[in-house]
Structure formats: C-alpha cells, structure tokens
Amino acid sequence: MRQKVRVLQILHGLAPAGTEAFVLNTVEHLDKDKLEVSYLIAVNDRQYHQDHVESLGHKVYMTCDLNGIVKLFKHFYLLYKTLKKFGPFDVCHSHMDFLNGLNLFVAYLAKVKIRVSHSHNSAKIEDNLLVKYYRKTMRLFINTFANVKLGCSHDANEFLYGIKACEKSQVIYNGIDLNNFKVLERKPNLNFITVGRMVRQKNCLFLVNVIAELKKIYPLVKLSWVGDGSDRISIEKKIRELGLCKNIELLGVRKDIPQLLVTPNYFLMPSLYEGLPFALVEAQAAGLPCFISDGVPKQANIGLCMFIPLALSAEEWAKKIANYIEGSTKRMKLDKEALGKFDIKTSSKVVEQIYLQN
C-alpha cells in the first residue's frame, strides 16, 4: 500500500486572515487517505486557529517571529531542522510572499521534491530603491527554487514572480464552500459590512471617512466592521472624532461570517491593494453589491462589484454609492457561472493534483 504524501504548509501564522482561511479550507477538502498535512509557522506564540488544526490531527511546528535579521536566519535554520528531523516531506507549500524563495531554497537543500510558492497579494504602490532591490533578489530565489508557482489572481502572480515568470505560474482562485452562502431577499436598509484586518493595506481610516460622508446623506447609515489589527486604536479614535459611534460597530474577529452577511445590504472594501480577497468572494456569494477600490484585481468581480478609483475623495465615494442606492446607477447582478470558479471543491482538487504528482 502506497504511503501518504507528506505536505508541509509554511505560513507566517495561523491567524484569522485570508491566506490562512484559504489554506485551512483547502486542506479540509483534500483526500485524507492520500495526504498527510503539517504546518510550520513563523511565530512563537499560540495561534487563533491552532486548536482547530491540532484537533484535526495535524502537527504544528513553530520557528520564531521574524523581527530582525538574526530571527530571520533562525527561522530558516529551524525550518531546515524541522524538515530533516520530522521528514521526509514530499511537498513544501510556502505562503510567505517574498520569503517563499528562501523557504523553498531551504526545502531544496533538504531534498524536498515538490516546492510550491503561493502568491496571496499584490501591490501597486511605488516602492523605494531598497524595496525594489529586495523584491528583485527574492524573485530570483523564488523562480529558481520553486518548481510550482501559484497565486490567487493574475495580478498576485505578476507581483510575486515578475511579468515574464508569471507566464509559467497558475491561478487558483480562493475557494469557499458555496453551500454556506445563499442569496436571500433582504429588507431595504442602509446597513453596510466590511471584513478584513485593521491594517494599512485595508485603507481603514479612509473607510471611516466614507461612512462619515454617507452619514451626511443617510443619517441612519450603519457599518458592521469584522476584524482586528494594529490600526484598531487609530480607527476607534477617528470614529469618536467624527461622531460615528452609533453608526459603526466594531465586531472584532468572528467565525460566523456567513451568518453576519445575511443582514447587511452592501459590502465596502477600499483597500490600497489585494491579491484576491476572500471576504469579497463571500460577500458576492451572499448576494451583496460590493463597493471596492481599483486596488482590487478585476478577477474578483463575479458581477456584484462596483470599482471606485482610490484617487477619488471619500465624498466622491459616498456620492457614487448613493447613486447606486437611489437607483440612478445600473443594477449589478451575480454571475452564477463565474461564482462556480470559486467553489472550494474545484480549487482544492487542483491543489491535490499538484501534491500527488510523481
């Protein structure tokens, strides 16, 4: 009887975020008779999803937080030590952006046959020369030591692998369990929802400003904000300053996203950049019109996205949203055929085939 193929998922952590959600959802739908999955995470402390992962029988190995050059080298040393001591592993699947190349270089030294780099993000922000040099160097490592290159969108692949190398990469959409999301008839209301970490990438303070402008048009506007992060204190301060305490409810990290998407009528995401946001796919699957920035890849649109330029002011965002609410803008409609591409059963099967290749 053939032994199980052993897979090591390499991540920054097991936090409540989109990358982790993709990995956990995918692993849950893999053939457990053929694959044995473990996790290696670059943290020192216990993680949000760790109890769940270990309850499923998966092993979790830790290296260290990546705060500084010394810790970075320690991470690579502990990764190599883990691969040798607890291996052999047949597959290493790295989800750590530009560190994927160095992770997979270590996997190459440890004689791991299938080395998968996965891109979960993109950025259109201008970088300084030091960052550009760092990314160019890291791309060289990725394109040399990854023999499988994946990403959640074309933009994400081009960002991590470069324009030419992107041609040899594959897009695997962030899959969700479509059975958890139903398009329901909703009562007309002015309730919005956003789901995401409270970090600079998500353009959080601008989002607060958009709600402030919408309040001038609709005094009863509400926003449910799911997520947490390093910008929470500045967000709370901004909410108080603009008198929005009754309009914006901070829900923190939640596991009941499908249930939370039942009540609101609209979804907001003014992110500076994204790979292909998990929450946006879920919102559309639940039938919510989504007002999103042009920093989000076009592939994320399943018919219910209105792209609004980041160059516009919060007031202009509010006016465009109000035009849609009032019916002066063409109604958006869910593309059910396009939604099928985001079925977790489809995306996990593709990943499984990659792991099981000879």
Kind of pairing, strands 170-171 and 148-151? parallel
**What is the per-residue pLDDT for 125?**
63
Q: Secondary structure of the chain: what % helix, strand, coil (to 5)? A: 45, 15, 40
DSSP 167: G
Q: Please tell me the predicted confidence (pLDDT) of residue 126.
A: 60
Q: Which two tokens stand for residue 276?
A: 């292909």
DSSP string across 45-85: S--TTHHHHHHTT--EEE-----SHHHHHHHHHHHHHHHHH
- Residue count of the chain: 358
Strands 148-151 and 114-119: parallel
Lookup: tokens for 250? 């901070």
Q: What is the pTM of this model?
A: 0.89
Q: How far is CA 345 from CA 116, 156, 238, in A?
A: 20, 22, 41
For 253, half-sphere exposure in the C-beta direction (CA atoms, 13 angstrom radius) is 10
CB burial of 127-137 (b: ≥16 within 10 Å; e: otherwise) equals eeeeeeeebee
Report, in angstroms and rounded to the nearest whole number, the Rg of the chain calculated over CA atoms: 21
Residues of the chain with pLDDT under 70: 1-2, 124-126, 358
Nearest to 292 by CA among 269, 315, 319: 269
Q: How far apart are CA 92 and CA 39, in angstroms?
A: 10
pLDDT for the residue numbered 234: 97
Helix residue spans in the chain (DSSP H):
18-28, 50-55, 69-86, 100-109, 129-145, 154-161, 204-217, 232-241, 257-260, 278-285, 314-325, 336-339, 344-355
